[in-house]
């Protein structure tokens, strides 16, 4: 697979790049961003995947999360995929939380979504293989994300412990089968049989499969979407199953990128310790 370089900017001694490429999984061109730290000029480096939330593109976290400074210090690359397929001919919905910008990191099985909305396969298989082939990256991967992206990070890591070595999340949609941020989208993408939804629910997956290492989750106590995110379900399951990790409730913080930016350094350092 060949990448088309769309932009490149120097950042903290490294390089912030944006690429476009044709995707077989999604049946359209996809855009993603990649930060390569200065250490990548001397050889391959571990990689941290950052999955963004509802309405975001590859660009939101690239410009607002402030990961580059920390990644440069610790010698990690950062890959920022888009949140859905896009373009003419790709199904969409008038609502902000379904369709383009709201792929929910699932493989859709229902029309009109199934021909393009295969973000799970795209990230886990296609893009992961493509960046390893085309960029100076080691096959050592951490994954994190915000909101819908936190949901995506947990489900991908738990279902693929052979592919991911470290896991964290910012305000993840933790129990989507029991939330309006989840039930609407899972029924649209997968159908009304709720037994088909469990593969995309972080809380249910952790209870069934556990996780090979520890987990770091940050959640704002003043998050305006707290009832939709259901962090208490995730924390309860981690305690019940005695899974190592930390769910930190951060007083006064909301759901914005101010929250993500505040704790980005903690998460990058946490992943670097496990990947290096």
Question: What pLDDT, in 10s, does the model give residues 159-191?
Answer: 999 999 999 999 999 999 999 999 999 999 999
What's phi and psi for 180, nearest 5 deg? -65, -25
Annotated catalytic residue within 82, 201, 218, 223: 223
Please confirm whether the linkage preceding 112 is cis (ω < 30° from 0).
yes
Domains: count for the chain: 1
pLDDT of residue 27: 97
Residues 26, 23: Cα–Cα separation, whole Å:
5
Sign of CA dihedral 22, 107, 185, 143: negative
- Active-site annotation holds for 209: no
pLDDT of residue 269: 98
Residues 216, 221: Cα–Cα separation, whole Å:
16
Longest Cα separation, the chain: 51
Interval 196-204 mean pLDDT: 97
| Strand, helix or coil for residue 154 | helix
Percentage of the chain modeled with pLDDT above 70: 100
Look up the domain containing 151 and give its range: 4-275
| Strand, helix or coil for residue 176 | helix
Name the band, by pLDDT with cuts 50, 70 and 90, for residue 113. Answer: very high
Residues 67, 130: Cα–Cα separation, whole Å:
22
The CATH number of the domain holding residue 61 is 3.40.50.1820
Annotated catalytic residue within 147, 166, 179, 202: 147
Is 133 buried (19+), middle (13-18) or exposed (0-12) by CB count in 10 A? exposed
pLDDT of residue 241: 97
Interval 206-235 mean pLDDT: 98
How many CB atoms sit inside 10 A of residue 111's CB? 8
pLDDT of residue 1: 73
Interval 241-253 mean pLDDT: 97
How does pLDDT run across 69-96, given as a tens digit for each residue? 999 999 999 999 999 999 999 999 999 9
- Active-site annotation holds for 255: yes
| Higher-scoring residue by pLDDT: 210, 1 | 210
The DSSP element (H or E) to which 6 belongs, if any, is: strand 4-11
Nearest alpha-carbon partner for 13 in 39, 34, 33: 39
Tell whether the model's pLDDT for residue 2 goes beyond 90: no
Q: What is the mean pLDDT of the chain?
A: 97
How does pLDDT run across 45-61, given as a tens digit for each residue? 999 999 999 999 999 99
CA dihedral (35, 202, 170, 267) in degrees, to 10, reads: -60
C-beta separation of 248 from 266 below 8 A: no
pLDDT of residue 195: 94
Interval 41-47 mean pLDDT: 98
pTM of the model: 0.97
- Active-site annotation holds for 223: yes
Annotated catalytic residue within 70, 255, 267, 271: 255
């Amino acid at each position: 697979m060949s990448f088309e370089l769309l932009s490149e900017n120097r950042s903290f001694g490294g390089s912030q790049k944006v690429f476009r490429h044709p995707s077989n999984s999604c049946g359209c061109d996809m855009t993603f961003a990649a930060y390569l730290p200065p250490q990548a000029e001397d050889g391959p480096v571990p990689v941290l995947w950052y999955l963004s939330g509802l309405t975001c593109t590859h660009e939101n976290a690239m410009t607002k999360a402030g990961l580059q400074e920390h990644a440069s210090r610790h010698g990690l690359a950062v890959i920022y995929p888009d949140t859905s397929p896009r373009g003419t001919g790709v199904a969409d919905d008038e609502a902000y939380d379904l369709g383009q910008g709201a792929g929910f990191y699932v493989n859709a099985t229902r029309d009109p979504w199934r021909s393009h909305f295969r973000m799970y396969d795209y990230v886990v298989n296609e893009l992961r293989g493509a960046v390893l082939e085309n960029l100076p990256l080691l096959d050592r991967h951490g994954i994190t994300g915000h909101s819908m992206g936190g949901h995506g990070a947990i489900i991908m890591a738990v279902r693929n412990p052979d592919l991911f070595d470290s896991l964290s999340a910012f305000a993840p949609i933790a129990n989507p089968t029991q939330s309006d941020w989840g039930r609407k989208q899972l029924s649209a993408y997968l159908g009304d049989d709720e037994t088909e939804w469990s593969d995309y629910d972080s809380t249910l997956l952790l209870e069934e499969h556990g996780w090979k290492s520890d987990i770091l989750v940050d959640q704002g106590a003043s998050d305006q979407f707290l009832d939709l995110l259901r962090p208490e379900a995730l924390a309860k399951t981690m305690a019940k199953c005695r899974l190592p990790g930390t769910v930190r409730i951060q007083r006064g913080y909301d759901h914005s990128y101010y929250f993500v930016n505040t704790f980005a350094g903690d998460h990058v350092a946490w992943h670097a310790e496990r990947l290096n």
